[in-house]
Structure 1
C-alpha cells in the first residue's frame, strides 16, 4: 500500500518542504474571508471548485480539521474495498490511475485543473474535504451525492489543531493563548469551527446527509461503521464489518502512518483521545468556550449530537 500511495506521500512531503521556506506572514492566504494554507490551497483552486461535477454515487466526507478526517477516510476506503471485493490487480489499477492523474488527498488541495482530471476516476469516488457547504460545488447537492459530516467536541478539536498547527511548517506557529484566541475568532486555517458546524446544521435533515460523531465512533465503532455502511448502501456481513473496524482502528492507522504517509504520518496521528483539552484549558478559557458554544450551537441539531455536556464539562 505504501508504494501504491507514493504520489500522496510525494505531495505531502513537498507541501512540508515548501511551507518551511515561507515566513509566517506568507503561509496563509484568504478566500472569501477564510484563511487557508497557501502551499496546499491556492485561491485559484478554490475559485475553480465550482467546475467540479459531483456524481450521484460519490461519497463526500467533510470534517473541520482535526475532527478525525484521516480516521474516517480510512474507514470509508476499507468499507468501499470490502464491499466491492476488489482484487489486488483492480486495486493497483485504481491507485496507478490516481497517481497518473495526480489526485491530491483533499478536494481543495492542489492545482485548479485537477477537477477535470478527476472526471477520469472510476466510480465510486470517495472525496474528502474540510469545506463548508457554501464553498463546496453546488453539484454535490444538485446531483444528490452522499455527504458525511464529521463532528467532534470543540475543546478537543482546538487542542488537537493547536498541536498540529505548531508541528506543520505550512502554518504560522502560535502560543497556546494566541492560538486559543485565533480559534475562537475563526482566524485559523479553514475558518471558524462554529461556522462550520452551524452551516452544516442547515443541511442535516437532507436525506443524503448524515452526521458522524468522533466520540461515538471511538465508543462504539462496530455500531457506527454499520450505520455508515447502511447509509452508503454498502452490503456487508457482520464479519466484514468487524474486519473494517480492525483495519481502521486509530492505533493501527497510527502505526502504519509513517509507511503510508511519509514524514506527514508522524505529525498527523498524535493521541486521538477524548478529554485531552483538560491539559491546556485555563478556567477562563473553559468559560469562554462554554459561552461561545451556548450562543452559537446549543440550539442546533448538530450541536446536540456533539454532546457538549458529556465531553466538555468538568
Structure 2
C-alpha cells in the first residue's frame, strides 16, 4: 500500500489534520473551540522553565507515565484554568485540547508562573512529531515513551474502533470512515505499517525524536523509556524517572504499586 495522499487531504478538509506550513507534514490536531492557527500556535509555543513533557506515538504508554508523575507529586496542568474566561486544560493530548489556541496561551502563562516551584509542571502529554513540537522549551525535560510497534498497532486498532462514536473523540470517526477500516484489524495494521495512520509513519516518528531531539533542543533534556520495561520492572523505571527529574528520597516500590495499570 502506498501513501494515501488523497485521503489525507480529505482529512484536512474534515478538520482532523493540518498540513504544517513549516515542515509540510500532515499533523493530527483537533480543537472544538479557538481552532484557527492551532497547529501554528503549538509550534511557536514557549514553555521554557520548570516543565516536563511526556511524548510518544499514540498507545505507547504516555497516559501511564503521566499517572506515575502525578503519584510522585508533580503538578498536573489539568489543574490549570482561567475561571473568568471559562478556559481549562483537559486530560487530552496537547493537540486535542478543547480550547485550542486559548489553551496554548493558558499553558504558556502557567509555565512562566510555575518557574520558581520546587516541583515541575507536567504539560499535557503529546503525540506531535518532532517537527511540530513547541519551539521554545529551554529548561524543560521530556520523557519519550516507545513500545513494540505490533502491540502499539493492536492497541490503537481497538481504541479507534471502540472510540469512533464517542463524543469526546469525534476526531476518530472521519479517519475510520475515510480509510475504510470497517473494524478490520488486518486493514488497520496495513495502514499503520505503511505510514497511513494519521499520526504519521510510526518508524519515522520515533527516528526523528531519537536522532534529532538534541540538535533541535540544546537547552532541554530527554529520557527515553520503553513500555515493556515499565510493564515488567516498574520500580526500576520509577527510579530512573526520579533520577531524571532530580527527585530525592523517592519510594520507588510504593509509587510503582500506586501506579500499577492494566495492560491493553
Q: Tell me the TM-score normalized by structure 2.
A: 0.72
- Once the two structures are superposed, residues 127-177 of structure 1 have per-residue CA deviations (whole angstroms, 9 ceiling, x without a partner) of 21111221111202xx13111110001010011111111111232431222
Encode CA deviations 1:283-310: one digit per residue, 9 max, x unaligned. xxxxxxxxxxxxxxxxxxxxxxxxxxxx
Matched, 1:133 2:153: no
The superposition leaves residues 42-79 of structure 1 with CA deviations (integer Å, 9 ceiling, x where unpaired) of: 57211111342112321011010000111111011211
Name stretches of at least 5 consecutive residues in structure 1 with no aligned partner. 1-22, 85-90, 252-270, 273-314
Take 1:219 and 1:43, find their aligned partners in 2: how far apart are those partners? 43
Q: What root-mean-square deviation, in Å, do the aligned CA atoms of Structure 1 and Structure 2 show?
A: 2.8
5+ residue gaps, structure 2: 1-10, 115-119, 165-169
Structure 2 counterpart of 1:217: 230
Which residue among 35, 46, 49 is the counterpart of 1:53? 46
User: 1:45 touches 1:109 (CA, 8 Å); kept in 2?
Assistant: no
Asked whether 1:109 is paired with 2:96, we answer yes
Alpha-carbon shift at residue 185 of structure 1 (Å):
2.1
Over 3 Å counting, the alpha-carbon distance change for 1:71 and 1:113 in structure 2 is same
Structure-1 separation of matches of 2:41 and 2:213? 26
Larger Rg computed on CA atoms: 1
Q: Measured at CA, do residues 194 and 43 of structure 1 come closer, stay the same or move farther in structure 2, by a change above 3 Å?
A: farther
Q: Does 1:98 align with 2:81?
A: yes
Query: Contact 1:56–1:146 at 8 Å: present in 2 too?
Result: no
Q: Give the CA deviation at 1:29.
A: 2.4
State the partner residue of 1:200. 209
Q: Distance between the aligned counterparts of 1:233 and 1:99, measured in 2?
A: 30
Contact 1:62–1:129, Cα closer than 8 Å, also in 2: yes
Q: In the alignment, is the contact (CA less than 8 A) between 1:75 and 1:244 conserved in 2? A: yes
The residue aligned with 1:167 is 162
Higher helix share: 1
Return closer, same or farther for 1:43/1:132 CA change in 2, 3 Å cut-off.
farther
Tell me by how many angstroms 1:80 deviates. 2.8
What is the correspondence of 1:1-314 to structure 2 with a 5 Å cutoff? 26=14, 28-32=16-20, 33-36=25-28, 38=30, 42=35, 44-81=37-74, 97-98=80-81, 100=83, 101-105=87-91, 106-110=93-97, 111-121=100-110, 122-123=113-114, 124-127=120-123, 128-140=125-137, 143-169=138-164, 170=170, 171=172, 172-173=175-176, 174=181, 175-203=184-212, 208-237=221-250, 240-251=251-262, 271-272=263-264
> Structure 1 37/165 Cα, relative in aligned 2: closer, same or farther at 3 Å?
farther
1:217, distance to aligned residue in structure 2 (A): 0.8
Aligned mates of 1:63, 1:95 — CA distance in 2:
19
Deviations 1:152-205 (A, max 9, x none): 010100111111111112324312222122112222131111111110111466
Where has structure 1 moved over 3 Å in runs of 4 or more? Answer: 25-28, 37-43, 94-101, 203-207
> Across the two proteins, how many residue pairs are aligned to each other?
216
Check the 8 A contact 1:30/1:43 in 2, yes or no.
no
Output the CA distance in 1 between the equivalents of 2:46 and 2:146. 25
1:194–1:40 Cα change, 3 Å: farther
Query: Alpha-carbon deviation of 1:230?
Result: 0.5
Corresponding residue SS for 1:202: helix
For residue 229 of structure 1, report the CA deviation from its aligned partner.
0.6
